[in-house]
Amino acid sequence: NGNGNGNGTNSSSSRVGLPAYHDRGSLATLLSRASPFANETGALPIGEFEPIVDTGNVNSNSSSNGVLSSARVLVVGAGGLGCEILKNLAMSNIPNVDVIDLDSIDVTNLNRQFLFRHSDVGSSKAQVAAKFINTRCPWMNVTAHHGKIQDKGTEFYSQFQCIISGLDNVEARRWLNATVCGLVELDEDGDPDPSTIIPIVDGGTEGFSGQARVILPRITSCFECSLDAFPPQKSFPLCTVAETPRLPEHCIAYAFTLQWPREFPDKKLDADSPEDMKWVYEKALERSRQYNISGVTYMLTMGVVKNIIPAVASTNALVSAVCVQEAVKLLTFCSQTLNTYMMYMGSTGVYTHTFIYEKKEDCPVCSSAVRKMTVSPSMTLNELLHTLREGDLRLKSPSVTAADSGKTLYMQKPPALEKATRS
């Protein structure tokens, strides 16, 4: 603080008479000037840029950022990436934001998820993040949704002009991708109706590496098109875990897959509960000492149980900035849209490169192609489901319907329907 008042803020005289929203971000200078690099000049043109009229009136929210002031943006995930995305949206003066997240705040989140404090541990990430942003940035209107993204219907997702994903697991991203792709309506010629396309900006980080991509459902490649780039989640052979552990991960897996059900047969392990995780850590530590295995830590326990990807704050900051920048371009057409994938590799230097992720012609989500499978007449329905789960489609909970009659042969969910179709 150059004024030496010691309280970490500007001197009171510099703020006299200024409105509470004086320090909010504004892109009016950018959006009010014509650009030789407008969206229609890029390799992925989706709209024509029309500069706004900048009145210079800070009290007029409608004139400060044009379409950004009225657009609704959904942020999926309020973790390390989500916190940064919400901050960047606030600083870009994009006020109408919804955020959805299932998780609760854990003490291990506090070193990088800066919207949370120690007193927030155990509370909903989405609710605390929304409250923090709304309080700190009074021009913002962030609405929180605590729960699974799968619990929201298509009518919820169809109300947004852009969706920014900061999810940390493949299955949730697949579900979101399929849902938004399913919102696109096709005309008589099979071409997508532009008014029903909701862009997805997908961000992800792992250590010093990160990526951001733009998905225009039914136009560009979707997340499912790139599924081969994500190896199946690592698992450990149960016999090794139970009989011959060699790694600290084996000890942890033993504690939460075998010891927990024996000790608490009527209670499901809560990976977000500090008490449950402490129990697993202590049991894993005991087993590691029995087999003279070093390396069992609380952080590693969290990583194995929750399949946590290592997070670095600077990587989250960089990738989130790209995500919000692409959202601004998609909403305003002020610049060329990323086509379609950006990778950041911070472990080898400050280096990024972009490339086009090609659309998969037989993608089961974004293409209209019908995939044919040849199966043995003797194959059981259970064997078919196993093939769908373990094959290149990697379907998590496949259901089967007869194409000719439309009869449902087997439905995984809800439980009542699963029981009825199983018999």
Q: Which residues are catalytic?
A: 239
For residues 44-76, b (16+ Cβ closer than 10 Å) or e, as one string? eebbebeebebeeeeeebebbbbbbbebbbbbb
- How deeply is 129 buried, as exposed, middle or buried, from its count of CB atoms within 10 A (0-12, 13-18, 19+)? buried
- Exposure letters 346-362 (e unless 16+ CB within 10 A, then b): beeeeeeeeeebebbee
Helices (H) and strands (E) in the chain, counts: 14, 10
d(CA 357, CA 344): 15
Cβ count near 10 (within 10 Å): 13
> Would you list the DSSP string of 281-346?
HHHHHHHHHHTT-----HHHHHHHHHTPPP--HHHHHHHHHHHHHHHHHHHH--SPPP-SEEEEEG
Quickly count: other Cβ atoms within 10 Å of residue 369's Cβ.
Answer: 11
Residue 370 corresponds to which tokens in the numbers above? 């019908």
Q: How far apart are CA 347 and CA 310, in angstroms?
A: 13
Residue 409 has a CB neighbour count (10 Å cut-off) of: 13
Neighbours of 15 (CB within 10 A): 12
